[in-house]
Structure 1
Amino acid sequence: MTVLVSFLNSRWLDRFLRLLSFISVGVPPFWLALLFLMVFFERLGWFPGPVGRGPAPTGLYTGLFTIDYLLAGDFAGFGTALHHLALPSIALALGPFGYLVRLLRANLLDIINEPFVTVLHAKGVAPISTHFRHILPNAFLPTLTAGGLILAQLLGGSVLVERIFVWPGIGTLVIDGILRQDYAVVQAFIMLSAIIYIGVNLLVDILYGYVDPRVRRS
């Protein structure tokens, strides 16, 4: 436990996460996607190139390859689907990751200086319990709210990344619908986005009660 707390309090870890968050916030997702293709596909050959989602499973139940492979019991195909999904997912997630890390770090630094933390240390509460049961839940609330709001950015910012990886996603479908003047597709996307956005923020409000007992009692 002491080793884990020391690792979490490490200055090198803090500096590395700060550097990674600054870089990820300042880099556009489409540029990051191109960089990933140049490095991990063209140079190193670790990941597949811009070839879409890979081979389709034999039985399509949901249209989501990872879920369909699991339903079919094809774990090798599931690994292949995850392999194709890795680079576009990371390219889209690094931006929100950097913002949330910076927000969580700022809140943690504020909570650590609160009087109740000093009282916990004076009572001899274990450092691991102080960090994960008292400091982190209090600092996590604004990050949880921001995570729900970032969903809209992910829905709108995936178009260029999908184009780069030749991914037949919803962003590409909407762009093609606009170019074809197929407004039914655009309207369906707007309605679906609104439903998902409201649902995720409702889930965030529910999670507030589990993270913060004060919200649950009120």
Structure 2
Amino acid sequence: MISEADLTALWITLKLAVVSTLLLLLICAPLAWWLAHTHSRAKVLVEALVALPLVLPPTVMGFYLLVLLGPQGALGGFLESVGMDHLAFSFSGLVVGSMLFSLPFVVQPLQNAFTTAGGRVLEVAATLRASPLDRFFSVVLPLSRRGFLTASVLSFAHTLGEFGMILMIGGNIPGRTQVASIAIYDHVEAMDYSAAHQLSLILVLASFALLLAVFALNRRFKVVSL
């Protein structure tokens, strides 16, 4: 049987993945739209910054986030000066770190989807006097649903397995910042391979189910669009 501590770690992991993914979709949609349609010279710089987590070691990003969000950091110190808690070693800090680390997994699929959804379809909608907001919600979003699905699943699955960045910014506090990947590491260190196997198997099955679902739904969307 899986222990209560491991169930708590799984719950924190699930909550972190859900919260991070939802916030990323809200924040990244406007950014991806801008990247898909802008002709600004700053586009290359922004795309490089968005893709940086793909090549940056997780511990490096986690370290700088810890410095920024800790009590001596710029953001953490500011929060404490206005009577709030700093974000290091907290669930909120995990959300910030997870969002930054999963940023390219959301922005890039949405950018590709918005690029494909643009063009003549929007021009036709404009000739029918549809407002820009109406065009986005009634035309762009339905045509971009595969991109939103892919971005959601990639962000969610990526958060499930993240280790280095979360360990740096959140530490290993049971019931507070200990996620499943860190709990697995603890079990291996304690030579408790049975408990590590149980948690690892849950994550493997969850990740496989997510990928299977996104491939099946993408295939269905493709058939419907044809």
TM-score tier after normalising by the smaller chain length:
0.5 to 0.7
- Alignment partners' CA distance in 1, 2:107 and 2:53: 10
Q: How do residues 117-156 of structure 1 correspond to structure 2 at under 5 angstroms?
A: 117-156=122-161
- Counterpart residue number, 1:60: none
TM-score between both structures, scaled by the size of structure 2: 0.60
- Alignment partners' CA distance in 2, 1:160 and 1:127: 39
**Which amino acid in 1 is paired with 2:204?**
A
- Alignment partners' CA distance in 2, 1:49 and 1:109: 36
Q: 1:160 to 1:117 in 2, by over 3 A?
A: closer
Q: CA RMSD in A?
A: 3.7
**2:73 maps to which of 43, 49, 65:** 43
- Report if aligned partners of 1:163, 1:172 keep a CA contact under 8 Å in 2: no
* Cα deviations by residue, 1:180-214 (Å, 9 ceiling, x for unpaired): 22111122112221343355457758987xxx697
More relative contact order, 1 or 2 (CA 8 Å, 6+ apart): 2
- Counterpart residue number, 1:27: 56
- Alignment partners' CA distance in 1, 2:125 and 2:222: 18
- Report if aligned partners of 2:149, 2:214 keep a CA contact under 8 Å in 1: yes
Q: Tell me how far 1:18 sits from its aligned partner.
A: 3.4
Q: What stretches of structure 2 of length at least 5 have no aligned partner?
A: 1-29, 80-84, 173-177
Give 3-state SS (helix, strand or coil) of 1:116's partner.
helix
Q: 1:93 to 1:201 in 2, by over 3 A?
A: same
Q: How do residues 5-24 of structure 1 correspond to structure 2 at under 5 angstroms?
A: 11=38, 15=43, 18=47, 20-24=49-53
- Alignment partners' CA distance in 1, 2:96 and 2:196: 26
Q: How do residues 139-218 of structure 1 correspond to structure 2 at under 5 angstroms?
A: 139-167=144-172, 168-198=178-208, 200-201=210-211, 215=224
- Report if aligned partners of 1:108, 1:139 keep a CA contact under 8 Å in 2: yes
Give 3-state SS (helix, strand or coil) of 1:148's partner.
helix
Q: 1:93 to 1:158 in 2, by over 3 A?
A: farther
Q: Tell me how far 1:23 sits from its aligned partner.
A: 3.5
- Alignment partners' CA distance in 1, 2:46 and 2:137: 19
Among all aligned residue pairs of Structure 1 and Structure 2, give the percentage whose two residues are the same amino acid. 16
Q: Tell me how far 1:49 sits from its aligned partner.
A: 6.7
Q: Tell me how far 1:35 sits from its aligned partner.
A: 0.6
Q: What stretches of structure 1 of length at least 5 have no aligned partner?
A: 53-83
**Which amino acid in 2 is paired with 1:40?**
L
